[in-house]
Chains A and B, each alone.
Chain A
């Protein structure tokens, strides 16, 4: 019999959807999350933003055909009803959409965000971070 000792954990991931008026940038993202770039906790949100930049499927909703299925905009990804509703509204306004997944395995900061679920919105950006999968 082999015995393995040590720390055991499950990984998780969270699907997100960001809808933005204009291109998504770090300053706008930090403003949405509520901190300036010189805050002691800004690094958390900067790291999340950097991951979003490299992980997202991007769709300019001004260029999609309204009759297409939502899944076809994001390579067949299954979207939550809330995300679908927001996307339909965003398509009418011609917003930009960013969809992707964050994994808890990537870094301590991203691991922390995978333990949380939230929805944030201001005049420029909508951020849905509610779809957690363990």
Chain B
């Protein structure tokens, strides 16, 4: 699941919370992204997908892990952490609370890639990462 949120840094910006489902691992998601992109090995597109994977799953904060590791004593409910520490809207909190148990992680991704900042950004991320085949069928 990809949850677009309004940027917390500047007006009109966009961030994402990327929530891949268990039991996939971060390495398996990288393979999925490369396969879904259909990029040929060692080409520009291949490196672009690898970089995107790293930006999301290596460099971005996993707020689920952050909550589990540091914030459970302070916020008995995940929703309270999301509201107070991450500053999310009620709609986003509802989606993430529902996905909490089945998510591998919840990566708070602030993209520098300008092509992810418009309406098509979530669509591109979803096609590369979400638990669907490119034709929309559940795996």
Name A's B-contacting residues (CB within 8 A).
6-7, 31-36, 38-41, 43-45, 108-109, 111-112, 115, 118, 120
Contacts and interface: CB of A to CB of B under 8 A. Distances in A.
Contact of B112 (A39, A43, A115): A115
A11 B54 CA distance: 27
B124 A34 contact: no
B68 to A, nearest CB: 31
Given A40-B124, A108-B115, A112-B115, A35 B11 contact: no
Contacts of A32: 43
B114 A40 contact: no
Interface in B108-139: 112-115, 117-118, 120, 123-124, 127-128, 134
Nearest to B121: A108
A33 B114 contact: no
A33 B43 contact: yes
Q: Which 4 A-B pairs have the closest CB atoms?
A: A34-B43, A34-B45, A40-B127, A111-B114
B109 to A, nearest CB: 15
Interface in B9-50: 10-12, 36-40, 43-46, 48-49
A30 B109 CA distance: 28
